[in-house]
Structure 1
Amino acid sequence: MIEKVNSGHPDKVADRIAGAIVDLAYATEENPKIAVEVLIGHGICHAIIETSAVLDETDIEKAIARIAGNVKPDIVIVPQDSHLARNQAESIHCGDNGVFRGMPLTDEQKALSQIARDIYKVYPYDGKYILDEARLIICQSNAKKVHLKKIYREAEINPLGDWTGGTDVDTGATNRKLGSDMADSVTGGGLHGKDLSKADVSVNIYAFLKAQRTGKPVELVCAIGDSSVDGIPYEEIVAQAREYITSIGGFEKFAEWGLF
């Protein structure tokens, strides 16, 4: 059983804004330290940004408008905590405590991810979907139910009727849809709005990719300041995560669908 939300869901809009802000930080520094939290809804977008990089507030406002449309930005930018900054002063160390899991994706999970993408291409609006052995439930805003029923004949489509969705109907918050992003790999920590030194990002990506490569579950634990994880240097973990993020087009693109 798996639930997936699309890139227009309010929580994913928040993730995408956070990812876009991290992209801005990486455009100014090779290894910025940044953490972003976004709350958006009903015409307002709050963004709290802790960062080592110097960011132009106008660029942030443009990113918010591009992703979320006509909303009022409320932006707070503060320096990263000095104690945390010293942890990374000489070399890249694990930037957080955590327990992490990587799980091979099931055929069911892969199938729902593709269904979500296919529907979003036609209806690029707020949507969420559930698939298990017995049911496919499609809740797609601004959609023609008759059209979807022709494609997904056995699905339950908009059980409560038509709806409009989006951030004028519901609020969105960063990292609130990790089940949609990570499937069975969810443990603690959030994927979005953080730089690669954070274990929440790099170790989660590493564990997930290793599980897909080996076909076996991966369980890891690390503490802030660790120089190695899973028997390899933490810098290598970060390098693998950087390669993955680069391959998909950056942190904003990563936020659209998560890891699958």
Structure 2
Amino acid sequence: MRNSYLFTSESVSEGHPDKVSDQISDAIVDLFLAKDPEARVACETLTTTQLVVLAGEIRCKGVYENGQWAPGALEEIEQTVRNTVREIGYEQDGFHWKTLTFENHLHGQSAHIAQGVDAGENKDEGAGDQGIMFGFACDETPDLMPATLYYSHKILERMAADRHSGAAPFLEPDTKSQVTLRFANGKPVSATAIVVSTQHAKGYDAGDKEAELKAYVKKIVAEVLPADLLSDETVYHINPTGSFEIGGPDGDAGLTGRKIIVDTYGGAAPHGGGAFSGKDPTKVDRSAAYIARYLAKNIVAAGLAKRCTIQLAYAIGVAKPLSLYVDTHGTGTVEDGAIEQAINAIDKLGGLTPRGIRTHLGLNKPIYRKTAAYGHFGRQPEGDFFPWEKTDLVADLKAALG
């Protein structure tokens, strides 16, 4: 790994059109899991000017059975969608929670998929699809995340909090950030560029109002980034196009699953290609990526490495992973192969099967809407939420390594 370099990551806010789609899809997942913990959900969302469209397949006791919707189910789905858009903050002519057109094209799960995934008399529950999943952790931040992505998320979270509270009434929901850091000896030492493009109220693209908006953004950056990273070297690009009044789904169509690098590690680690939002936890695109992050984070938290990448691979209908790969990038205190053996020896992980992952992390719960903006990783575990961010495997790893 190079000792000195520049690296950049971006984030997008809850009001970005793709993130609106992700949040709607995960709100639907939560709706069904709250009614049936064994529900199967694959929900895709399209958003554009005054329109939200759902498509995908489901199976949920008491909601959709034998090809029929339960009484009131369709109305509850629509209300969930409108509530999600309202909570994000869209009450604009081009996208308004109350007046947008809603279409629901969800239908029953394929019987051929179901037979591969469901447990049977002589087989454990299989993975919901084939694929490869990656997890990552590093010691650049307290939450063991890449610093460039961590600060990109934090800038937008602070701005969203001010928008919702009314402290920054000139902000609208659609915002993007980007942080470039200079690294020396593998550690971040200075911020060379900060990019923030935020949708704004009318008039905040010129004169004193534009100056007010830019001063506000610089204040937020100064509160989020450590002071020793900011200097005269830091260049700011705040709304570099000049105006950003039209945004969200009115400014650009949104789709579920188009921000997978924002959702994960900001480009600092590989990605298997599968999106998370809109999928129940039998889909290993989601659950195996969560357990891979959990393993990588615990390895770094245990002091076994400063940087760790985990890869898992699955086949549809097959319970056990096809492979487990650990790479500590030359920072490990023990051999990578020994860490792989230690992981396989920890019984509570359930052999990293889909059922074992869901049981250990407690994933069959309505906990996913919160994941759909500001990253699935690097979040604080609280109650049932973000259990893959816990560092409760440290003692088990050390014991398994002897």
- Check whether the contact 2:134–2:272 (CA below 8 A) recurs between aligned residues: yes
Report which stretch shifted further, 22-31 or 38-47.
22-31
Aligned counterpart, 1:29: 36
- Equivalent of residue 239 in structure 2, options 134, 153, 158: 158
Counterpart of 1:2 (choices 4, 9, 13) is 9
Q: Distance in 1 between matches of 2:155 and 2:196?
A: 9
Map residues 43-192 of structure 1 onto 2, 5 A cutoff: 43-53=50-60, 54=63, 56-68=73-85, 69=97, 70-90=99-119, 91-104=124-137, 105-123=145-163, 125-133=173-181, 134-142=192-200, 144-152=213-221, 154=234, 155-164=236-245, 165-183=247-265, 184-192=269-277
- After superposing the two structures, state which structure 1 stretch, 150-159 or 57-66, moved more: 150-159
**Secondary structure in structure 2 of the residue aligned to 1:226:** coil
- Local SS of the residue matching 2:311: strand
Percent identity between the two aligned chains = 27
Give the equivalent residue in structure 1 for 2:227.
none
Structure 2: distance between partners of 1:151 and 1:109: 16
Distance 1:16 1:4 in 2: 15
CA drift of 1:209 comes to 1.9
Identify if the C-alpha distance between structure 1 residues 150 and 30 changes in structure 2 by more than 3 Å, giving closer, same or farther.
closer
The Cα shift of 1:149 comes to: 3.1
Contact 1:123 1:142 in 2 (8 A): no
Question: 1 CA distance for matches of 2:136 and 2:49?
Answer: 36
Is contact 2:117-2:316 (8 Å) kept? no
Q: Are residue 196 (structure 1) and residue 213 (structure 2) matched?
A: no
Output the CA distance in 1 between the equivalents of 2:261 and 2:352: 28
Question: 1:187: Cα distance to partner?
Answer: 2.0
The SS at the match of 2:126 is coil
Contact preservation (8 Å) 1:99, 1:219: yes
The answer (yes or no) to whether the contact 1:5–1:129 under 8 Å persists in 2 is yes
Q: Deviations over 1:205-241 (max 9, x none)?
A: 1112222221311011111122223441411112244
Helix, strand or coil at the partner of 1:167:
helix
8 A contact 2:125–2:318 mirrored in 1 = no
Indicate if the aligned counterparts of 1:42 and 1:169 stay in contact, CA closer than 8 A: yes
Q: Which runs of 5+ in 1 are unaligned?
A: none
**Number of matched residues?**
257
Amino acid at match of 1:79: G
Distance of 1:241 and 1:185 partners within structure 2: 23
Write 1 or 2 for the structure with the bigger share of helix: 1
Q: CA deviation at 1:13?
A: 0.5
Alignment-mate amino acid for residue 148 of structure 1: V
| 1:86-145 superposed Cα distances (whole Å, 9 cap, x missing partner) | 123324321111111112122232222212211221235111111112211011111723
* Unpaired runs of at least 5, structure 2: 1-7, 65-72, 86-96, 138-144, 165-172, 182-191, 202-212, 223-233, 301-307, 325-343, 345-350, 378-402
Give the Cα–Cα distance (whole angstroms) in 1 for the partners of residues 248 and 59 of structure 2.
Answer: 32
Q: Which has the higher contact order (CA 8 A, sep 6+)?
A: 1
Which shows bigger deviation, 9-18 or 46-55? 46-55
- Distance in 2, matches of 1:142 and 1:241, equals 40
Q: Residue 142 of structure 1 aligns to which amino acid in structure 2?
A: H
Using the TM superposition, give the Cα deviation of residue 180 of structure 1 relative to its aligned residue in structure 2, in angstroms. Answer: 0.6
1:153-177 deviation digits (Å, cap 9, x = unpaired): 7432111123131111111100001
The answer on whether the counterparts of 1:101 and 1:219 sit within 8 Å (CA) in structure 2 is yes
Aligned position for 1:256: 373
SS of 1:140's partner is: strand
TM-score relative to the length of structure 1: 0.91
Structure 2 distance, partners of 1:99, 1:21, is 25
Report the alpha carbon displacement of residue 77 of structure 1 after superposing the two structures with TM.
Answer: 2.2
What is the CA deviation profile of residues 54-102 of structure 1, one whole-angstrom value per residue up to 9, with x for unaligned ones? 2511111111111221311110121100011112332432111111111
Query: Which is higher, the Rg of structure 1 or of structure 2?
Result: 2
- Offset of 1:256 from its aligned partner? 2.2
Residue type at the aligned position of 1:140: T
Equivalent position to 2:315, from 223, 236, 241: 223
Q: 1:163 to 1:23 in 2, by over 3 A?
A: same
Give the stretch that moved more between structures: 51-60 or 36-45.
51-60
SS of equivalent residue, structure 1 residue 21:
helix
